[in-house]
Amino acid sequence: MKVDLGNNEQVMVKFKDYGFFMPKNIAGKEVIINGQAFVEEVSVDDQHHYAEDSGASFEAIAKITEPKRTYSFEANGVLLIK
């Protein structure tokens, strides 16, 4: 599940031990998530490698010049606000 952080960024939410799932039709709904948040930095070299693996053009790969911060969350509970 992806959740909008409100600042033009999203966080990928995974469910602990795949113990539960959320319905696909909740886009735009408000949720409260309990669990652990993670911030990781992807190096320029790793981004180049991933871009090459995905078949990106040389020009697109050359535009990658800074590390990228990624956000993820491992949820052990999610409350869907009605």
Question: What pLDDT, in 10s, does the model give residues 14-40?
Answer: 999 988 889 889 988 999 999 999 999
| Mean pLDDT for the stretch of residues 71-80 | 93
Question: In the chain, pLDDT over 70 holds for what percent of residues?
Answer: 100
Q: What residues have CB less than 8 Å from 72, skipping those under 6 apart?
A: 11, 12, 13, 14, 37, 38, 40
pTM here is 0.67
The 3-state DSSP class for residue 73 equals strand
The whole-number pLDDT of residue 33 equals 94
